[in-house]
Amino acid sequence: MNFNYEENEKIMLEFIEDCRRQIKDKFFSEDKITNEEIRKHREEMIDIKLNHTMRVAEDVAKMSMKMNLNIDFTKIVKVSALLHDIARFNQAVWADSFNDRNCAQFNGMMHAEYGYHLLYVNNKFKDFQIPKNYQFAISQAVKYHQQKSLSGDLSIHFENKKELNPEVLTGYETLNNSEKIIVATLVQMVRDVDMLDILYQHLTNEFPVIRPFVTYDVCHDHLSQISKHFGISEAEIMAYNKLDNDDISNMETIKIPTIHMDKSKLAVPQDIRDAFLHNIDLDLVTLQKRRDWTFITGMWWRLIHFINNINFTSNLELVKEKELLDKIYEMYPDEYKPLVEDIFTFTKEVVINASLKINQGSEFIKENTGELISEKTKKKGY
């Protein structure tokens, strides 16, 4: 089969247009106002993931060429990037947010796993023009791009770029050693570029550093208690949630607008703060279940998690050279800066520098920086 990236990109764009059509059909009704709002929001979700997908595909191909990897491997890694978030487009049809937990159709799966399921198990691959012997390897890159950290076979590194020869791919699910190296490299490259792109999305404001509201678990609280806790009037919360009265007893969650909120309520809880300032990568799903979870803790998590999970030294150097973290920090309005200042300084001055020092001269980030970091942590008094 002739394997051409452009052809597959066209097919992907048609699939995305189809998701857009489904959104239009789903939210077309007499009840124009509410539906129009939801439709617009869902279409924006599609736009965000479309831009993300295209950038990640382009950037991963650039990375592959910069590393002098062969043309066929470059095409495979580019198609893996093109497909890595395929489930996000279904998610925009089904749900109002990209929180995988809230998407009933995923049936407990995360979006990466669902993407794998869709492509490989349900054979969505048949719509694409991808040689059969490449499909399993690509499906693994989709499946594992969201993995918390890479271990075992997914953490192996190629010794020689000649090992990345797609000819060795058989398409069988039991991978031989040559295939394992290709799959691990696909996963590592897609993950790196995917994580970096989320940082860029903060800069373009596609992923704003400040969210308009915090979703709070009601947990049998009265509106008056919630109002007092966040320092916002009951009337404002009611208006924001379009409530006719103050009875919230049958609501699971309530939206608290951030604009007039007492900003100290967004401060990262002490236990989470201590963990992150000792470079401990906490589990996102567990954090998101906490009642005190906010988008500020989300940024703390992203910094520690992403920086510690970058696989290629050149990408970590890129973060430093492009001053990405300083630029994101500057996106915060002044009243929010104290909430994130410590984690930005710690990540820049301790985590990145320790890792670059240890991995200098190596293509991959291999060494455990834990000891160096705890030494520096002590010195800096975090």
Cα 178–Cα 55–Cα 198 angle in degrees, nearest 5:
95
Q: Which window, 85-93, 267-275, 295-303, 332-340, contacts Fe ion (CB under 5 A)?
A: 85-93
- Please state, in angstroms and as integers, the Cα–Cα distance from residue 316 to each residue in 129, 209, 221, 320, 364, following that order: 34, 21, 45, 7, 10
Using alpha carbons, select from 311, 12, 5 the residue that is nearest to residue 134: 5
Q: How far is the CB of 378 from Fe ion (least distance, A)?
A: 36
Nearer to Fe ion, 204 or 249 (CB): 204
Nearer to Fe ion, 197 or 221 (CB): 197
Q: How far is the CB of 111 from Fe ion (least distance, A)?
A: 6
Number of residues that bind Fe ion (CB under 5 A): 1
Q: Which window, 66-74, 78-86, 182-190, 361-369, contacts Fe ion (CB under 5 A)?
A: 78-86
Nearer to Fe ion, 59 or 85 (CB): 85
Q: How far is the CB of 142 from Fe ion (least distance, A)?
A: 9
Q: Does 100 interact with Fe ion (rule: CB under 5 A)?
A: no
Three-state DSSP state, 39: helix
Helices 5-26 and 86-94 pack at an angle, to 10 degrees, of 10
Nearer to Fe ion, 82 or 354 (CB): 82
Q: Which window, 81-89, 117-125, 160-168, 180-188, contacts Fe ion (CB under 5 A)?
A: 81-89
- Please state, in angstroms and as integers, the Cα–Cα distance from residue 92 to each residue in 55, 139, 199, 234, 366, following that order: 19, 21, 21, 32, 37
Nearer to Fe ion, 85 or 221 (CB): 85
Using alpha carbons, select from 21, 20, 75, 28 the residue that is nearest to residue 48: 20
Nearer to Fe ion, 52 or 75 (CB): 52
Q: Does 85 interact with Fe ion (rule: CB under 5 A)?
A: yes
Q: How far is the CB of 121 from Fe ion (least distance, A)?
A: 18
For 102-113, b/e burial (b = at least 16 CB within 10 A) is ebeebeebbbbb
In angstroms, rounded to a whole number, what is the distance separating the alpha carbons of residues 225 and 234?
Answer: 9
Secondary structure percentages of the chain, helix, strand, coil, to 5:
65, 5, 30
Q: How far is the CB of 123 from Fe ion (least distance, A)?
A: 21
Q: Does 221 interact with Fe ion (rule: CB under 5 A)?
A: no
Helices 337-346 and 324-331 pack at an angle, to 10 degrees, of 170
C-alpha 149, offset from chain centre: 13
Nearer to Fe ion, 85 or 192 (CB): 85
Which residue has the CB atom at the shortest distance from Fe ion?
A: 85
Q: How far is the CB of 146 from Fe ion (least distance, A)?
A: 5
- Chain positions contacting Fe ion, by CB under 5 A: 85
